[in-house]
Amino acid sequence: MFNSVSIGLLSVQLQALLRDAEDQKWAFIPETWQFEDRVGEQDIYNVKDLITAPSTQRPGKTEADILWCKSYPRAVAILFLLDRYAFWQGTSPRLLKAIDDIRQNSPSTPVPPQIVIRKARVLTNAGDLQGAERVLDDVLSPDKEKGTWTYRSDSDRAIAHSVCIQIKGQVQLKLGERSN
């Protein structure tokens, strides 16, 4: 599924982000890294620009061209960094398919709440409300058989759970409207 990647070929900033993602430093990528065309002094990175930047190590390639690997935790970390970019490009279903493949081949590999929540939103938009509920339940009540995300703080856990509860409420409202 994934080709090997030499992390040394990536920019120093992207290497640092990838290490942080592998270390589960955040439950969600900070939004200002994702949405701003220009980052301010208080912001660290613009992930979109980092991913689409030409590689200084491999002329004619972008950083995204060399971001593929065989290590499932690293693959999840890469997909985590690419999640919102994939959403902007309309390719979330492909990213989520890759996550599903990883979960099937390596159930013990933790998946970031941001990606699990993205899947719930995609399922909701596709009309699979029960599927969305099941996905959200994976964050709210993790299965010990699957890889469990390690939150760095109680506030990270609370934010992820709050988002899940909010979306689950919207899903249940839609389910209630369907039954009437």
- Write the CB contacts of 174 (distance below 8 Å, at least 6 apart in sequence): 124, 129
pLDDT tens per residue, range 40-51: 455 555 666 666
- Write the CB contacts of 104 (distance below 8 Å, at least 6 apart in sequence): none
CB-based burial label for 12 (10 Å; 0-12, 13-18, 19+)? exposed
Tokens of 13: 């900033």
**Position 97, amino acid:** K
pLDDT tens per residue, range 109-150: 999 999 999 999 999 999 999 999 999 998 999 877 788 899
CA 54 to CA 51: how far, in whole Å? 8
Backbone torsions φ then ψ of 30, nearest 5 degrees: -55, 130
What is each CA distance from 167 to 116, 129, 154, 171, in whole angstroms? 12, 11, 20, 6
CA 125 to CA 135: how far, in whole Å? 14
- pTM for the full predicted model: 0.66
Q: Are 105 and 79 in contact (CB under 8 A)?
A: no
Mean pLDDT of the chain: 78
73 band by pLDDT with thresholds 50, 70 and 90: confident
CA 130 to CA 66: how far, in whole Å? 37
pLDDT of amino acid 13: 74
pLDDT of amino acid 143: 79
- Write the CB contacts of 78 (distance below 8 Å, at least 6 apart in sequence): 18, 21, 67, 68, 69
